[in-house]
Amino acid sequence: MVGETRRLLIISDIHSNILGLEAVLKDAEQYGPYTDKLCAGDIIGYNANPAECIEKIISENFTAVAGNHDRVGRGDKVSDFNWLAEYAIEKTQKELKSKHINYLQSLEKIYVDPTMKFLLTHGSFGKGREDCYIFHEQDAFGVMQRRLDFNNDTSEGVIIRIPLGIVGHTHIPLYASGLFQKIKVAY
Ligand SMILES: [Fe+2]
């Protein structure tokens, strides 16, 4: 709708921590209501409650993308997975039923909002760079430019107009804004 104000609730890297997820959602209530609930991936991995976390994300109507742990959990091959993450994912897979795997398989690596106001992915923009980390302004500068080649189906002319990129993966809150030559970063 033209002129509609969007209020986004953005979470990421839940990593099977249902107590943490419930606490965050409870805390977020005071800032709502939200027009969009977004999860930038890694619903599962590491902690004890992957099935409960997936069910909560579904029941709360989040739009989610597939993180590296979600992709391994559903059976994809992902490079650069550390021993602890691998150990945890074996435990995780034993907890998941087919409905959970089906949900993980339904997740894309990138979500482009229909209004073209924002796009959401787990680690970084750019084809083959979805598991890269954004820690510094140089990283943010590079990846915002790489929005262009993320996806073969999306033409340059469409993607370049999307002003906001949302990612997770680092477990560190970071906001980078400004023109490409003058990006400011705040933690
Ligand atoms: Fe991740």
Specify the pTM: 0.87
Q: DSSP letter string over 142-184? A: HHHHHGGGS-TTS-HHHHTT--EEE--SSSS--EEES-TTS-E
| C-alpha of residue 3 to centroid of ligand 1, in Å | 34
pLDDT at 146 over 80: no
Residue pLDDT, tens place only, 56-71 = 999 999 999 999 999 9
- Counted domains in the chain: 2
How open is the CA angle 123-129-135, to the nearest 5 degrees? 45
State whether 77 and 122 are in the same domain: no
3-state SS, residue 37: strand
Q: Output the domain CATH number for residue 5.
A: 3.60.21.10
Ligand 1 midpoint to CA 1 (Å)? 33
Percent of the chain with pLDDT over 90: 50
Shared domain check, 96 and 144: no
Q: Return the higher-pLDDT residue of 128 and 147.
A: 128
Do 102 and 148 have their domain in common?
A: no
- Separation of CA 74 and ligand 1 centre (Å): 14
3-class state of residue 39 by DSSP: strand
114: pLDDT strictly greater than 50: yes
Are residues 8 and 59 located together in one domain of the fold?
A: yes
Which residues does 114 contact at the CB level (< 8 Å), separation at least 6? none
If you measure from the C-alpha of residue 72 to the centroid of ligand 1, how many angstroms do you get, rounded to a whole number? 11
Together in a domain, 19 and 81 = yes
